Amino acid sequence: MSERRFSRSDWLTIPNAVTVARMLLLVPIAYLLVVDQHPVLTAVLLTIFGMTDWVDGFIARRFNQVSRVGEILDPIADRVGVAVVAVVLVAADYLPDWIAYSIVLTDLTLATIYLLFRARHRPPVSRLGKARTAVLMAGLPLTVFGRIPGLEIGATIGVAFASLGAVLHVITGVTYAWAIQRESRSAIANEVST
């Protein structure tokens, strides 16, 4: 049984470095949210976190640095990052509990379905999925900006965006689960017919 090895050029790219940096940002962001003492720095780091999701994809496409490692790593960084930030925001009383529950449970359900159906590929990112990510990435830092004196309206707007993003996350999860199940059935039908 041969194991696919990634070449150095496949994983050592600028977009992958940006993705790894995004994941590393979770440590100071989570810490700052828990201590709740530096809302400006926390909001800035959350904004950078959200922007890097767009930056790594732009660089990968613009400079032809799309890689298999990046295709695997980027969605993992997105899902883990959003889930961690949402859970910590809920724990710090920035967001209602149901937002974190819906994000985490949707992701766990999708991962389980993916494994149960032994999907060969993850579903391509849909427009709805992109909209969901953009809304969440805007809502999470806005919620924190609302902790800055004088910017309290940001918290209201941020919670509204995060709520909409959580609802879109569940809907997107259902569409992805359906796509995984459909692909699995199609693969089984093809194997039977050959």
Task: Catalytic residue, from 10, 74, 78, 97: name it.
Answer: 78
Q: Distance between CA 148 and CA 133 in Å, rounded?
A: 24
Is residue 78 part of the annotated active site? The answer reads yes
Q: Distance between CA 56 and CA 53 in Å, rounded?
A: 6
89-92: long-range contacts, CB 8 A cutoff, minimum separation 24: 89/33, 89/140, 89/143, 89/144, 89/162, 91/33, 91/34, 92/33, 92/34, 92/36
Residue pair 165/176 in contact (Cβ under 8 Å)? The answer is: no
Catalytic residues: 78
